[in-house]
Amino acid sequence: MPKAKYDQIYRDLKEKIETEVYSYQEMLPSEHMLVREYGCSRNTVRRALAELTADGYVQPMHGKGVRNIFRPVEQAAFTVGGIESFKESSARNKRKGTTQVLQFAEIIADEKIEKRTGFRKGICLYYIQRLRFLNGIPLILDHNYFLKEAVPGLTPEIASQSIYDYLEGTLGITITTSKRTLTVEHVTQIDEKYIDLKDYNCMAVITSQTFDDNGIQFEYTQSRHHPDFFRFQDVATRKTH
């Protein structure tokens, strides 16, 4: 938990927006006011506001002020957003998440794997297949590839709990960046075997390459979601052309 001043301000403003201390479309106090309120420099206030802007919470308007454009979202499905473990996502979506390990193996990357995952050929990887349950219903099928040298000592036992807890807690790895691609793909035999898709013949597929704070890619994951329980959210800002 960072104790940086800008982060404190960011969290404080974020909560005020979420709890409607400032209502939708209302202006926040000016930067000058916030400087006085928080007893810091203008740069620091601006940094907090920049993060809220990136989150889609506020919109700064040149010469006018900063407007609250946040609206709460209904959480009907299983919402995916930032980098989160399944455990964290389950908690945020207020569901009980459990995991069943279907496969756990050590493999050597060949050319096909290199092309798909970004791991160099010849490198030793853990390959793990896991089935994810929400409130007892199997909804997500994960195929994980972990770089063995970066993530030593992985066991099926750990995989059935939270690998991220192990990485961040026990190994002290800092997870930093995740590049994700989202596609819609036909169901496979494995999907059908474990997940009741009713009449869907597709799944929502997130593939991600995850990096630690040394810029080393230690994970490639393909996460296949039941369409009825999948929702991906995003805020984009337009770049000038």
Partner DNA sequence: GCCGATTTGTCCGTATGTATC
Partner DNA sequence: CGATACATACGGACAAATCGG
Member of 16, 42, 179, 193 binding a second copy (CB under 8 A)? 179
Q: Which is nearer to DNA, 44 or 90 (CB)?
A: 44
Helices of type H across 30-118: 31-38, 42-54, 86-92, 111-117
- The token pair at 146 is 């972990």
- Return the ∠ at Cα 114 (arms to 209 and 148), rounded to 5°: 65
Neighbours of 181 (CB within 10 A): 10
- 31, interface contact from DNA, a second copy, none, CB < 5-8 Å by kind: DNA
How far is it, in rounded angstroms, from Cα 152 to Cα 126? Answer: 9
How far is it, in rounded angstroms, from Cα 217 to Cα 208? Answer: 10
Binding mask 80-109 for a second copy (x = CB under 8 A): -xxx--------------------------
Q: Which is nearer to a second copy, 30 or 214 (CB)?
A: 214
Report DSSP letters for 94-120, one per residue.
Answer: T--EEEEEEEEEEEE--HHHHHHH-PP
Stretch that binds a second copy, among 12-20, 66-74, 131-139, 152-160 (CB under 8 A): 66-74
* Exposure letters 29-53 (e unless 16+ CB within 10 A, then b): eebeebbeebebeeebbebbbebbb
Stretch that binds a second copy, among 90-98, 123-131, 136-144, 213-221 (CB under 8 A): 213-221
- 175, interface contact from DNA, a second copy, none, CB < 5-8 Å by kind: a second copy
> Does 25 contact a second copy by CB under 8 A?
yes
Q: According to CB under 7 A, which residues from 52 to 111 bind DNA?
A: 60-66
> Does 235 contact a second copy by CB under 8 A?
yes
Name residues whose C-beta falls within 8 Å of residue 93's C-beta, 6 or more positions apart in sequence.
75, 78, 79, 134
> Does 111 contact a second copy by CB under 8 A?
no
> Does 13 contact a second copy by CB under 8 A?
no
- 124, interface contact from DNA, a second copy, none, CB < 5-8 Å by kind: none
- 132, interface contact from DNA, a second copy, none, CB < 5-8 Å by kind: none
How far is it, in rounded angstroms, from Cα 81 to Cα 89? Answer: 9
Strand 124-134, strand 137-147: pairing = antiparallel
List contacts with a second copy (CB under 8 A): 1-2, 25, 53-54, 56, 59, 61-62, 64, 67, 69, 71, 77, 81-83, 118, 175-186, 199-204, 211, 213-215, 217, 227, 230-241
List contacts with DNA (CB under 7 A): 2, 4-7, 28, 30-33, 39-44, 46-47, 49, 60-66
